[in-house]
Amino acid sequence: MGNMESTASEKSRNILVVYYSRTGSTRKVADYITKQLGADMEMIIDMKKRSGVFGFVIGGMDALMRKETKISEIKKDPSKYELVIVGSPLWAGNIPPAIRAYLNKYKADIKSVAFFATSGGLSQGKIFEEARSLIGKELISFMGICTKELNDDSVFEAKLSSFIESIAQKK
């Protein structure tokens, strides 16, 4: 048993979950994946104020215009990991400025990448295609989950399990 445990943590030590979350939905998914895989985690902080109605509107416009933003200093070096799993909310059908800034800065350090997106509506649109072209690498796996699914425990667990399984298979 002790042996099995050490093997499992050995295997997953090389995964980093990087996410940005304005209101906690993407964090919920990131937390779950991090725990399940025994991964390390990095939370990206947007230095620009994104709260309130004004923050929402400007945020949407910035995302739409593919703008970057200033992000806080990172704590984990992505080049140290075999796989980076990026978690992002969908903003105006696109990648929010904080995730864009992170990826532009560190894409060359990312060996292998998987991507998940949370959204208010049912569809995550073209965010995965956008992520793939921004990073310049195929996503080994991707998953989108909407608010309704996030709040339904059985759907949440089913979606997350299949995403985690597909990552484990391809890693």
What residue type is 91 in one-letter code?
Answer: W
Q: Give 13's DSSP letter.
A: T
Tokens of 76: 């984990």
- Which of 15, 17, 21, 103 binds ligand FMN (CB under 6 A)? It is 21
| Total of residues contacting ligand FMN (CB under 6 A) | 20
120 binds ligand FMN (CB under 6 A): yes
Region from 105-113, 114-122, 135-143, 157-165 binding ligand FMN, contact rule CB under 6 A:
114-122
Residue 108 has what DSSP assignment?
Answer: G
Among 12, 26, 34, 141, binds ligand FMN (CB under 6 A): 26
Binding mask 48-77 for ligand FMN (x = CB under 6 A): --------x--xx-----------------
113 in Cβ contact with 83 (< 8 Å): yes
- 17 phi/psi in degrees, rounded to 5: -100, 120
Cα 168 to Cα 83, 155, 162, 163, distances in angstroms: 11, 20, 10, 9
**What residues from 82 to 111 belong to the interface with ligand FMN (CB under 6 A)?**
89-93
Give the interface with ligand FMN as residue ranges (CB under 6 A). Answer: 21-27, 56, 59-60, 89-93, 118-121, 147
